[in-house]
């Protein structure tokens, strides 16, 4: 949300346009009309920018992709802490693969590294980690790849990650930044509270159009099923609440009205001023700020919103060839991993 505020500062008219959009209610089909009809696999390229980018291994990257696939399918085995919300638990048909071909048609493993001290700064208009000219790595075609940048946060705000909402911001910035300390599940560098790769699940949720579950206003009037920020992606009726008032008087949202974010790992039923009785807050939702060990679910309508965004606002991802190696590529069963000279 801090990044979105920065975009509004650079373009004040976008904020006004967003307020106008929120009052409009475009026509749309029933909720089940927003479901994808088959599994769509999204190609992912991971840009690692660190003084020693090899600290994040290929196995660490694959671990993060595996986590995304588990969490988005709803097949993660640690879902029992959200049993009180099983009636609205969502199962997405969005899946992810590491890219096998570059935008130029060359073979790739979907990972590129750069030894650099350049980090990510969410507070500046041009994030250094996303520009080769500033020490980072440039975006791959954002219509064909989900771009993940992995590196350090240099904003001074302790950012675990941030994403660009669909249809907003510059194409060169489109994608997700993940702090390497909350990337994957490495015991070497991840922070213990964020060591299950679920910062990625959270930020990719933003990338596909989800807001924070508490509505971002620290009270009972905010709504996480608001219209998307002004840009080229406008949600139809059924996927956003035009009143924007905590889902009051609307059947659009299926997340409990929640007063503020959760920053720990609770257990059992937790209530607050906005959800005062069981089942209480949905702190298990990936769009809260809960510690990774307590994240476990999206809802049915969150899934519908993400799948509609993929189907309409990020539609080119559906036909991307990024997951397919080029036909001319030589497929090897083995390759050198490390050269060791015992005489040195």
The answer to whether 46 touches 111, Cβ cutoff 8 Å, is yes
Catalytic residue among 2, 24, 203, 217: 203
Q: 203 catalytic, yes or no?
A: yes
The answer to whether 218 touches 259, Cβ cutoff 8 Å, is yes
Which residues lie below 8 Å from residue 139, measured CB to CB, with a gap of 6+? 130, 147, 171, 172, 173, 174, 175
Which residues lie below 8 Å from residue 172, measured CB to CB, with a gap of 6+? 130, 131, 138, 139
Cis amide leading into 107 (omega within 30): no
What is the set of active-site residues? 203
């Amino acid at each position: 949300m801090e990044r979105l505020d920065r975009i509004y500062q650079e373009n004040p008219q976008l904020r006004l346009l967003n307020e106008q959009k929120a009052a409009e209610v475009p026509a749309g089909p029933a909720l089940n009309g927003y479901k994808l009809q088959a599994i769509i696999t999204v190609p992912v390229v991971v840009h690692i920018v660190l003084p020693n980018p090899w600290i994040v291994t290929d196995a660490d990257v694959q671990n993060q992709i595996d986590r995304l696939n588990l969490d988005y399918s709803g097949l993660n085995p640690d879902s029992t802490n959200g049993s009180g919300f099983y009636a609205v638990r969502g199962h997405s048909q969005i899946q992810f693969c590491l890219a096998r071909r570059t935008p130029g048609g060359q073979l790739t493993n979907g990972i590129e590294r750069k030894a650099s001290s350049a980090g990510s700064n969410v507070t500046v208009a041009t994030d250094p980690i996303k520009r080769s000219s500033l020490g980072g790595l440039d975006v791959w075609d954002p219509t064909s790849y989900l771009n993940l940048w992995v590196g350090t946060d240099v904003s001074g705000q302790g950012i675990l990650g941030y994403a660009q909402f669909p249809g907003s911001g510059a194409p060169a910035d489109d994608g997700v930044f993940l702090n390497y300390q909350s990337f994957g599940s490495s015991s070497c560098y991840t922070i213990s509270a964020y060591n299950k790769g679920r910062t990625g699940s959270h930020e990719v949720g933003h990338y596909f159009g989800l807001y924070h579950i508490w509505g971002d206003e620290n009270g009972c009037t905010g709504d996480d099923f608001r219209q998307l920020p002004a840009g080229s992606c406008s949600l139809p009726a059924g996927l956003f609440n035009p009143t924007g008032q905590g889902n009051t008087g609307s059947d659009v949202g299926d997340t409990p009205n929640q007063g503020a974010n959760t920053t720990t790992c609770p257990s059992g039923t937790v209530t607050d001023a906005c959800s005062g009785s069981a089942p209480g807050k949905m702190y298990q939702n990936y769009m809260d700020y809960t510690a990774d060990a307590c994240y476990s679910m999206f809802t049915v309508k969150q899934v519908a919103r993400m799948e509609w965004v993929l189907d309409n606002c990020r539609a080119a991802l559906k036909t991307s060839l990024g997951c397919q190696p080029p036909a001319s590529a030589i497929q090897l069963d083995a390759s050198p991993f490390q050269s060791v000279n015992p005489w040195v």
